[in-house]
Chains A and B, each alone.
Chain A
Amino acid sequence: MTLTTEKNGTQLTVHLSGELNTLTAPELTALLDKELGGVKALTLDFTECDYVSSAGLRVLLATFKQMKAVGGDMKLSNVGENFQDVLKNTGLDAVFGV
């Protein structure tokens, strides 16, 4: 998986490309640990990432909690069909506002 970032003050956008699974979720965790300091608005762009497993979802949920704890906001954008189905089936679409 490839991760690219765009930072604009307190806004951070992370573009994911590839699969977010058990093998690649630690890479996302490491990136967010490094970049999230001082960020108030986080956007995760899934245009080029059409596969998210529970391992990836775990990272997203942990990050969501972390952002809420600092009064920030987190959005998931351009979510693909498979990931949308997972979010709908698990009721997490309401949590992430997808």
Chain B
Amino acid sequence: MKGFCEKKFSSMLVSGTITTAVMYLMLLSDSIIAGHFIGAAGVAGINAINPVTAVVTFFGDLLSTGVGVVYTREVGAMRKDRADEIYSQGLIISIGVGLLSALLIFAIQNTYFSMCGVTGEIMERALEYYRLMPINSFLTIVVFYLEQMVFSDGDELCNNICYGFQIGGNILCSVILTKFLGMKGIILGSIIGNGLGIVTCLWHYFRKCNTLHFKWHLSFKDFLLTSRYSIVDSCVYISWGIMDAVMISFVSSRFGEAGQITLAVVVNLIEFSVVMDGVGKALQALIGTYFGEKNHVLIKRVMKSGAKAAVIEGIVATALIWIFTKQFCGLFGIRDGAALEPSITALRIVSTGFTFCSLVALTTSYFMLTDHIMMGTSFACLQNGILYILLPLLGGLAFGFNGMWAGFVASPILTLICAYLFVYLRFGKDNFPFMLKHMDTEIVVLDETLSPESAAKLSDKVRDSLLAHQYARTVANNAALFTEEIGLTILERNKKAKKPLQIELSLFFEESSVLLIERDSGVLFDITESDVQVGELSSFILSGLMEAKQEKAYLLTTSYNRNMIRFSRA
């Protein structure tokens, strides 16, 4: 049965997947439009500026991913002021770095083109595209950041609409403007798309679920703290760059031009596989919150859902590539000729490793989210840098052309084995595979679809749980009463709700008290507020109980209500 956290994870999966792929999709759409309307020179012109785009992507990722992780963790630990500082600093730095990158890109234009080696028509096309790169780089870095923060704040609706405008706006505007402005039209389309994305993200700030509040804060220490978490993703792009360079050299020397074409398509496929990191992205906000709470039970539960999703995603991706291999080759201009059959074979071989790629991406994301950043970075580099070079080279030398592609399949399998073996040997059997033994609080998690009957049943379970932990009957009854009245009050407030309401309770049994954390998917309201509106008898009683309670807190978290109430043993 899907519980509260599983349902939230599912709702964030689409958003998470697009978040990881947005840059790739924006560039891919630009390349396809250039290929269709301008020709091969247009595509080559965009490719010539790839290193600049890669640097912009690197900074966009560096400045956003880590802030999202730390923000959700601080919210999870109920340190809202600290969370606001992290968010605010991230915003200031993103805007600052965006402006700086725009200036630099503008300033280095002549130097870059004198070094990159392109000439003739490709140079002209690249120059046209480059002209508006400064503006686009600023907008890209800012929109990356805003999208990440809106996602971390649990507003996947706003996020999905943002991506719709960003990618859809880019494609539509690029197609229209290319006809009049050529290459400039393509990048202008990206600018408009990014601009629409920013405007959509700003809508989040006016929604009730917004918890992003600005307070001026700049600290180098905090910048280093947030940047650490971004390194795992960022190093993947650098690893791919190195892999691409080595493989180009190897393939061109052994297999010639035809091999180069197939390699280009395979590298594009590998870059496409970044979408499978969407599972890790979808888990980010949840695991960040649960990690801040030290809720090891829910971290494990949500990871199990993540693992299932990663396997399914991998299998679906493999199936889609197998079915649409010819069409995928067509995207890169390979429709017939000598390169088609080898490319189809190569893509089908490489795609069989997708399930393992998906699991490796999930594993390295988990390492990052649970503060094992060095491990996450190491295993990401192991697969994407070292093994993606070593095994294809060995496969190519031993078994020829197709042996190379088999090397790409073996890499994620070997990485997965190494990663879990390392965890087992380093952290021990008891700590395998989640490494959460340091969180040793006993936790009981209860979740239900809310109804008057289920509120009473939850209340009974809370009482039984406290009695089983030798709490006095009066304390157990008090906690049970809170549970039932919270449930009934939520139902009272959500009479017009169209979807079933979910409620989740976590009981943290500490030495001399139990902390009850309640999460629900109802309308947003703070039950700990002293002047909360009272409707029926249940909210009247709850209000009275809350008034008498000292240790209580409310914090809107990933667009859900989250209440914490402590019950002392004495």
Contact = CB atoms under 8 A, between A and B. Distances in A.
A26 to B, nearest CB: 10
A51 interface: yes
A50 B538 CA distance: 18
Interface in A19-33: 19, 21-23
A22 B456 CA distance: 6
B448 to A, nearest CB: 13
B455 A90 contact: no
A4 interface: no
Contact of A51 (B477, B547, B548): B477
Interface stretch (B155-163, B295-303, B411-419, B480-488): B480-488
Interface string B463-505: 1000000000110011011001100100000000000000000
Contact of B480 (A23, A51, A85, A90): A51
B217 interface: no
Contacts of A82: 474, 477-478, 481
A54 B478 CA distance: 13
A46 B502 CA distance: 33
Contacts of B540: 54, 90
A51 B545 CA distance: 14
B544 interface: yes
Contacts of A90: 540-541, 544
A54 B544 contact: no
Contacts of A22: 452-453, 455-456, 484, 488
Nearest to B544: A89
Interface string A26-65: 0000000000000000000000001101110110010000
A54 B538 contact: yes
Contacts of B477: 50-51, 80, 82
Interface string B526-561: 000000000011101100110110000000000000
B569 interface: no
Contacts of A51: 463, 477, 480-481
A67 interface: no
Contact of A81 (B452, B474, B547): B474
A58 B537 contact: yes
Nearest to B473: A50
B222 interface: no
B460 A86 contact: no
Nearest to A89: B544
Nearest to B478: A82
Interface in A84-98: 85-86, 89-90
A82 B459 CA distance: 14
A54 B535 CA distance: 13
Given A23-B453, A86-B541, A89-B541, A53 B484 contact: yes
A86 B536 CA distance: 15
B457 interface: yes
B545 A53 contact: no
Contacts of A61: 537
B392 to A, nearest CB: 64
- Give the contact-size bracket for chain A: 10 to 19
Contacts of B481: 51, 53, 82, 86
Q: Is the interface of B mostly helix, strand, loop or mixed?
A: helix
A23 B457 contact: yes
A61 B478 CA distance: 21
Contacts of B538: 53-55
B456 A86 contact: no
A19 B462 CA distance: 13
Nearest to A90: B544
A82 B145 CA distance: 50
B456 A53 contact: yes
A57 B542 CA distance: 13
A46 to B, nearest CB: 12
A85 B537 CA distance: 15
Contacts of A57: 537, 541
- For B455, B473, B536, B541, which residue has the most chain A Cβ atoms within 10 angstroms? B541
Nearest to B472: A81
A23 B541 contact: no
A86 B456 CA distance: 17
Contacts of B474: 50, 80-82
A54 B539 CA distance: 9
- For A53, A57, A58, A85, which residue has the most chain B Cβ atoms within 10 angstroms? A53
Contact of A86 (B453, B463, B488, B545): B545
B543 to A, nearest CB: 9
B456 A21 contact: yes
B424 to A, nearest CB: 47
B548 A53 contact: no
Contact of B452 (A19, A55, A86, A89): A55
Contacts of B478: 82, 85
A50 to B, nearest CB: 6
A80 B478 CA distance: 12
Nearest to A50: B477
Contact of A85 (B453, B455, B484, B548): B548
A96 to B, nearest CB: 14
Given A53-B485, A82-B477, A23 B456 contact: yes
Given A19-B460, A23-B457, A58-B537, A89 B484 contact: no
Given A86-B541, A90-B541, A21 B548 contact: no
Given A53-B456, A53-B484, A90-B541, 13 more contacts: A21-B456, A22-B452, A23-B456, A50-B473, A53-B481, A53-B538, A54-B488, A55-B484, A57-B541, A82-B474, A85-B478, A89-B544, A90-B544
11 contacts: A22-B456, A23-B453, A23-B456, A54-B538, A81-B474, A82-B478, A86-B541, A86-B545, A89-B541, A89-B547, A90-B540
Closest 9 CB pairs of A and B: A89-B544, A22-B456, A54-B538, A82-B477, A54-B537, A23-B456, A22-B452, A21-B456, A53-B484
Interface of B: 452-453, 455-457, 459-460, 463, 473-474, 477-478, 480-481, 484-485, 488, 536-538, 540-541, 544-545, 547-548
